[in-house]
């Protein structure tokens, strides 16, 4: 690519390369369909290694604990939307964009759009989130897809492109394959030291003000619960840090310890990078099969017995389960879940989780399910509208894309979305970290504030390690 650093070498395409139709020569307008799809087997490397070798290309990453990892590089097309109708608008625009890709000659090879949404409508159109906006999805020019020991490189180019565009596309292909070959052949790097560069602690006076503001907010929520106006509100906190401006690839590498229990994700737009490692799935859809989960209730350390015996945490978890069943149940011919929540251990925390799987009554688009579910009471509250009104009125920092849906969509309307937790917005040397805790009857504001700060440690530690 024009902005991928030249590796000083190139490789020819293997015999495994394929095009959806003939490779588009300059001005070849007779081939139907505006996009050609290219696919070739590629060497397998960790996506963050490839990302580290890229210069200024826009990227988007989806890297789950299991299943295919997707690294989108560059942009063949994009979908943006704003306002309360952003889910429906993205669905319509995404379908139109993906319909322009000729997939018939490469059965089984599916280009996808990758991206996400803001937590609330019109919340990311100004301030620190404005470059990402309310919704942004990309059809990458190149998608590096890897699973197990196998990897593919997918490319998208307009049919009938001019000669310069075709030449540049071919050069990008050669550069990427050569780069992947070099990275795969390089000796494995020695494990990096776990020693972190300490991040500057929050100013004690600022921390005290944040704690006081938090406790005031929690007490206000508890008063609303006492009056019968609220059942739960998830109160979030934003922590602003200076971290030295490490690159996105370094931050993702530092999040590698979370890879067995979380999905690592990232998107760049202009100077911004939104990155995280979320433990919570919002929805996965393949045909009529769907999977989701309720994740709520938290304790510090690894004391699962204490968590499973906490009436407050079990009640908080049940609120989320009941609301997901209420929202998703009518759309499903069957929706199964275990009778009791199970513990899920993360770094320094244990959550309660109730996995659910179902079969839809009739076909629908994954974004229909996203719109029905978001925000779950695990990140918003109940009643939903009152909880969201409290959040928008009282939280001092806009959530932007924090706790919002992030994922991928294909042409069949299948896809997968997470809840963008354990995340940070990076802009140069500045990082905005976000975490929240659910306030329900019986919550202790002081303990909830401590829980939020513990959740912030996932990204704090990653930023510290990335600077080392």
Q: Supply the pLDDT for residue 199.
A: 55
pLDDT digits (tens, 9 = 90+) for 29-41: 433 358 989 999 9
Res 463 pLDDT > 70: yes
Q: Name the DSSP class of 146.
A: E
Confidence grade of residue 25 (pLDDT, cut at 50, 70, 90): very low
Q: Supply the pLDDT for residue 259.
A: 80
Res 436 pLDDT > 80: yes
Given the residues 57, 172, 280, 451, the one annotated as active site = 280
Average pLDDT over residues 173-178: 94
Q: Supply the pLDDT for residue 2.
A: 40
Q: Supply the pLDDT for residue 30.
A: 39
pLDDT digits (tens, 9 = 90+) for 211-238: 899 999 999 999 999 999 999 999 999 9
Res 24 pLDDT > 80: no
pLDDT digits (tens, 9 = 90+) for 305-317: 888 888 888 999 9
Active site residue 280: yes
Q: Cis peptide before 16, with omega less than 30 degrees from 0?
A: no
Q: Supply the pLDDT for residue 68.
A: 93
Share of the chain above pLDDT 90, in %: 63
Res 173 pLDDT > 70: yes
Element (H, E) at 369: helix 366-373
Given the residues 93, 232, 285, 455, the one annotated as active site = 232
Active site residue 455: no
d(CA 294, CA 355): 6
Q: Name the DSSP class of 120.
A: S
Average pLDDT over residues 121-130: 86
pLDDT digits (tens, 9 = 90+) for 257-297: 888 889 999 999 999 999 999 999 999 999 999 999 999 88
pLDDT digits (tens, 9 = 90+) for 324-352: 999 999 999 999 999 888 988 887 788 89
Res 10 pLDDT > 50: no
Q: Supply the pLDDT for residue 200.
A: 54
Average pLDDT over residues 50-57: 85
* Dihedral over Cα of 115, 119, 123, 126: its sign: negative
Helices and strands of the chain, counted as H and E runs: 10, 22
Average pLDDT over residues 419-446: 94
Contact (Cβ atoms closer than 8 angstroms) between residue 242 and residue 200: yes
Cβ neighbourhood burial of 372 (10 Å; 0-12, 13-18, 19+)? middle
Average pLDDT over residues 172-198: 75
Domains of the chain: 1-203+247-284+399-433+459-468 (3.60.120.10)
Residue in the block written with tokens 């890229």? 54
């Amino acid at each position: 690519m024009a902005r991928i650093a030249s590796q000083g070498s190139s490789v020819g395409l293997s015999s495994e390369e394929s095009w959806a139709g003939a490779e588009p020569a300059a001005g070849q307008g007779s081939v139907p369909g505006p996009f050609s799809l290219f696919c070739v087997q590629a060497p397998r490397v960790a996506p963050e290694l490839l990302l580290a070798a890229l210069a200024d290309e826009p990227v988007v990453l989806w890297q789950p604990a299991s299943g295919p990892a997707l690294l989108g590089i560059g942009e063949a097309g994009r979908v943006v939307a704003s306002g309360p109708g952003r889910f429906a608008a993205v669905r319509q625009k995404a379908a139109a964009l993906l319909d322009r890709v000729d997939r018939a000659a490469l059965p089984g090879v599916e280009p996808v759009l990758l991206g996400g949404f803001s937590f609330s409508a019109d919340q990311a159109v100004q301030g620190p989130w404005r470059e990402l906006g309310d919704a942004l999805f990309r059809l990458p020019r190149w998608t590096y897809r890897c699973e197990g020991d196998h990897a593919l490189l997918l490319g998208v180019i307009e049919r009938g492109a001019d000669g310069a565009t075709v030449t540049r596309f071919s050069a990008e292909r050669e550069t990427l394959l050569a780069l992947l070959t070099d990275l795969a052949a390089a000796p494995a790097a020695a494990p990096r030291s776990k020693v972190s560069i300490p991040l500057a602690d929050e100013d004690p006076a600022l921390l005290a003000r944040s704690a006081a503001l938090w406790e005031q907010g929690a007490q206000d929520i508890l008063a609303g619960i006492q009056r019968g106006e609220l059942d739960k509100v998830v109160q979030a906190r934003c922590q602003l840090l200076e971290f030295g401006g490490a690159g996105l690839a370094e931050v993702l590498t530092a999040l590698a310890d979370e890879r067995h229990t979380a999905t690592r994700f990232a998107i760049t737009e202009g100077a911004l990078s939104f990155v995280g490692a979320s433990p919570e799935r919002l929805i996965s859809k393949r045909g009529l099969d769907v999977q989701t989960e309720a994740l709520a209730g938290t304790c510090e350390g690894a004391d699962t017995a204490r968590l499973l015996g906490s009436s407050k945490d079990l009640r908080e978890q049940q609120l989320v389960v009941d609301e997901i069943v209420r929202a998703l149940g009518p759309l499903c011919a069957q929706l199964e879940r275990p009778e009791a929540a199970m513990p899920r251990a993360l770094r320094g925390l244990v959550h309660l989780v109730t996995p659910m799987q179902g079969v839809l009554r009739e076909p629908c688009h994954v974004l229909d399910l996203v719109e029905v579910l978001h925000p779950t009471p695990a990140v918003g509250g109940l009643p939903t509208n009152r909880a969201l009104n409290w959040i928008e009125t009282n939280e001092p920092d806009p959530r932007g894309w924090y706790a919002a849906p992030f994922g991928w969509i294909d042409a069949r309307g299948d896809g997968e979305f997470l809840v963008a937790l354990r995340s940070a917005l990076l802009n140069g040397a500045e990082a905005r970290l976000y975490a929240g805790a659910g306030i329900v009857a019986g919550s202790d504001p002081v303990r909830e504030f401590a829980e939020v700060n513990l959740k912030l440690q996932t990204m704090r530690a990653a930023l510290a390690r990335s600077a080392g």
